[in-house]
Amino acid sequence: MSLCPRCQAAEDKLRIEHKGLNAKGELVWTIFHCTSCSFTWRDSEPAISIDYDKREAFFRVDPSKPYPVIMPPEQYK
Amino acid sequence: MSNDKKELSANALAVANRIGSLRDFLAFLEENGQCVTWEDEVFPEPDIRNVAVAAGRDAANGPAVIFNNIAGYPGKKLVLGVHGSFTNIALLLGYPKGTTVKELFYDIISRWGADKPLLDFIEPEDAPINENRITDNFNLYDLLPLYRINEYDGGFYIGKANVVSRDPRDPESFDKQNVGIYRIQVQAPGEFTLLSIPAHDMGRHIIAAEQLNVPLKISVMLGNHPAMCMFAATPVGYEESEFAYASQMMGSPMRLTKSGNGMDILADSEMVIEAELINGVRSFEGPFGEFPGSYSGVRKIPRFKVTAISHRNDPIFENIYIGKGWTEHDTLIGLNTSAPIYAQLKQDFPEVEAVNALYQHGLTAVISVKNRFAGFAKSVAMRALGTPHGTMYLKNLIMVDDDVDPFDLNQVMWALSTRTRADDIIVVPNMPLIPIDPAAEVAGKGHRLIIDATSFMPPDKLGSDSKIVTAPAGPEIDALAKIIQMLQNGEKS
C-alpha cells in the first residue's frame, strides 16, 4: 500500500476495508479507504481512477481546505 | 385529474397481479426479451460500467442486464437497467413493446393519485425480506457487489436505494413517512453517507432530528418493486405517501411489513439496511457523476451507521448507471417528472395538452397548449415555473401548439423552425436552480429561458403568416402506415 491516490495521505491514514476472494478462496482484489479524504478504491481498478499521477488534477482533494457543508448542524441549532 | 381517469385494461391488471417484486419483474422482462444475463466474468471496474453504458444506448428498447460472474464476488448477483428503456416501462404498465412515450404519458396520468392506496400489511416473520437477519459485524462491501459507477466518483455508490424515513416531529404519521432515492456512498463496512438537501423531504427529517437531538432511523430498501422506484424518484407532496402512489399506479396491492426499526417497508424487496443518523457529523462525500452528466463536487454531508440488515436468500443488488445522458436515470424518472407538472398546470389551464419533461429531470421541457388568446402560452410557461418541481428544475421551456406532439422532437423542431419570432424569447435571470447544473455560474442560481413556439393569433400582428398545410391524419392514415410497415417487413396485409 502506498499513498492515497486522491489526497496523498500517508499509510497510517489508510484502512483495508475488504478483500475479494474467488470461489477457491484466492485473493482477487483489496478495497482501501482513506480516512483523511474519504476516498475508497480497489487495487484492481484502471490507473485513471487510482494512480495519483494519472488522475486528472481537477479531482484532487486537499482535506485541509474548506469544503461546502450540507445542512451545517450549527446553522439549525 | 379526475377527468383523465380510466379503468385499467385486462392486460395491465394481469401484469400488476403478477408482479409483486423485482424478481417477478425480471422474470417477466426475460420472457419478453428485455432482460439478459451477462455470464462472462467481469471485473467490478471498468467492466460493469462499460456493459451498463452499452446496454443503455437504446433508450427505446434496451434490456436490463444481470451480472452473475463478478470477480471477487462469487455467487453475488447485480442487475442494472431495470428501468433502462421505455419498453421496460411499457411492459410494467401492461403495454407491448413499441408503445409510444406519449401513450405511456397519458396512461400514467390516468393512473395518477394517492387517494385509493392498495396496501396489504403482513407480519415481519412472514415477509421474504426477513429470510436472513444480520445484527452485528456488518460488511456492506461483502454483502453487496459494490463498484465505482464513474471513474472519478469518490467511492462506491448505491444509486437506486429507496430510503424510508419518518418525520421526527410526527413519527406516527404514515403519510409524512418519506420514500426517496438519495445517493449513498459506502464509507466503512458498516457506515455510509447519504446526500439530501433542505428542499428534500429527507433533508427536512435530518434537520428536525438534529434540532431536537433525537435519533433519525431510516430503512434503506434495495432491489424493490419496479413501481416503488418510479415513485421514490417522483416529487409528490410532503404529506403524500409514495407507497400509496406506487400501489395505485399498479392497480394491485403492494405488500408492506415493518422493518426492525419501525419503518414501513416492502415485504418482498431484496434487502433492507436499517441505519441511524450520526447526529452532528459530516463526512467528505463525492464527487459523483450526476444526472446532468457532470460530477457534483466534494462536500461534507450527513453520515449514518448501520444497525441491522435483513435480506432474502441470494439477494439481487439492483443499481443504476447514471452520467451523461441518455441513461437509466432519464427513463426511470422522466414520465413521473412530467406527470405532476401536467397535473398542476391542468388545474388552472385545461388547455394544456401534454408535458414532456424527460430531459435531465426537466432542465429542458416541452409543453403543448391550445392558445386561448395571444400570448397565452407565455402565461402557462410562467405558471409552470411556479410549480414545485418547476421552481428548481425547469430551466429551458419550449411552448408549442396543441397540434404539435411534444414527445416527437421532429415536430418540436418544426414548431421552432416555423413559429418562433425574435421577440418571443424570454430570459429570466438570477433564478433559483438546482445546485448541480453544470452551466451555473453560481451553484444554486441560474436562468429561465422560455421559447414561445406557438402560433400568433389576434391581436398579434399576423404579418405575412402563411396558412399551415392540413396534412391528412387520423385512423385512416394510421391504418395506411401499418400496411406500409407490413409491406416493409415482408408480411402480408
In whole angstroms, give the CA distance from residue B169 to residue B167: 5
Write the residue in A17, A40, A76 that is nearest to B211 by C-beta.
Answer: A76
Distance in Å, alpha carbon of B317 to nearest chain A alpha carbon: 17
B240 is catalytic: no
Residues of A in contact with B285 (CB under 8 A): 38
Residues of B in contact with A7 (CB under 8 A): none
Residues of A in contact with B154 (CB under 8 A): 6, 38-40
Cβ contacts below 8 Å, chain A against chain B, sum to 116
Report the SS3 class of residue B97: coil
> Which of B290, B318, B328, B353 does the annotation list as catalytic?
B290
Write the residue in A18, A45, A70 that is nearest to B282 by C-beta.
Answer: A70
Which pLDDT tens digits describe chain B residue by residue (493 residues)?
Answer: 444 677 899 999 999 999 999 999 999 999 999 999 999 999 999 999 999 999 999 999 999 999 999 999 999 999 999 999 999 999 999 999 989 999 999 999 999 988 999 999 999 999 999 999 999 999 999 999 999 999 999 999 999 999 999 999 998 888 889 999 999 999 999 999 999 988 788 999 999 999 999 999 999 999 999 999 999 988 787 888 999 999 999 999 999 999 999 999 999 999 999 999 999 999 999 999 999 999 999 999 999 999 999 999 999 999 999 999 899 999 999 999 999 999 999 999 999 999 999 999 999 999 999 999 999 999 999 999 999 899 999 999 999 999 999 999 999 999 999 999 988 999 999 999 988 899 988 988 999 999 999 998 888 877 665 778 888 988 999 899 889 988 998 877 5
In sequence order, what are the beta bridge partners of A32? A16, A41
| Cα dihedral: B35, B41, B42, B44 (round 10) | 110
In whole angstroms, give the CA distance from residue B382 to residue B390: 10
Q: Do B197 and A55 touch (CB under 8 A)?
A: no
Q: What residue of B is the nearest CA neighbor of A31? A: B141
The residue written with cell numbers 486522491 in the block is A6
Chain B CB within 8 Å of residue A25 CB: no
Write the residue in B151, B193, B295 that is nearest to A49 by C-beta.
Answer: B151
Q: What residue of B is the nearest CA neighbor of A41? A: B155
pTM, entire model? 0.94
Distance in Å, alpha carbon of A55 to nearest chain B alpha carbon: 8
Do residues B200 and A70 lie in contact, with contact meaning Cβ atoms separated by under 8 Å? no
Q: Do B74 and A23 touch (CB under 8 A)?
A: yes
Do residues B363 and B374 lie in contact, with contact meaning Cβ atoms separated by under 8 Å? no
Distance in Å, alpha carbon of A54 to nearest chain B alpha carbon: 12
Evaluated on CA atoms B406, B334, B156, A27, the torsion sign reads: negative
Q: Do A61 and B284 touch (CB under 8 A)?
A: yes
Residues of A in contact with B195 (CB under 8 A): 70
Question: And the C-alpha cell for B320?
Answer: 443504476
Helix axes B242-250 and B101-111, enclosed angle (nearest 10): 120
ipTM confidence score: 0.97
Evaluated on CA atoms A13, B298, A58, A41, the torsion sign reads: positive
Mutate to test the interface with A, among B48, B68, B138, B151 (most CBs of A within 10 A): B151
How many helices (H) and strands (E) are present in chain B, helices listed first? 14, 23
Do residues B18 and B28 lie in contact, with contact meaning Cβ atoms separated by under 8 Å? yes
Chain B CB within 8 Å of residue A38 CB: yes
DSSP-derived secondary structure letter, B130? G
Question: And the C-alpha cell for B90?
Answer: 411499457
Write the residue in B45, B139, B193 that is nearest to A49 by C-beta.
Answer: B45
In whole angstroms, give the CA distance from residue A45 to residue A50: 7
Do residues B162 and B333 lie in contact, with contact meaning Cβ atoms separated by under 8 Å? no
Nearest to B301 by CA among B137, B136, B173, B435: B435
Do residues B264 and B247 lie in contact, with contact meaning Cβ atoms separated by under 8 Å? no
Residues of A in contact with B298 (CB under 8 A): 37, 61, 67
Helix (H) or strand (E) holding B221: strand B217-222
Helix (H) or strand (E) holding A47: helix A47-50
Query: What does A17-41 look like in DSSP terms, one character per residue?
Result: EEEEE-TTS-EEEEEEEETTT--EE
Residues of A in contact with B138 (CB under 8 A): none
Nearest to B270 by CA among B28, B16, B20: B20
Chain B CB within 8 Å of residue A70 CB: yes
Give the model's pLDDT for residue B493. 57
Region of residue A11 (phi > 0: left; psi between -120 and 50: alpha; otherwise: beta): alpha
In whole angstroms, give the CA distance from residue B312 to residue B266: 12
Question: And the C-alpha cell for B96?
Answer: 407491448
In whole angstroms, give the CA distance from residue B319 to residue B55: 14
DSSP strand pairing (B184-188 vs B191-194):
antiparallel
Report the SS3 class of residue B484: helix
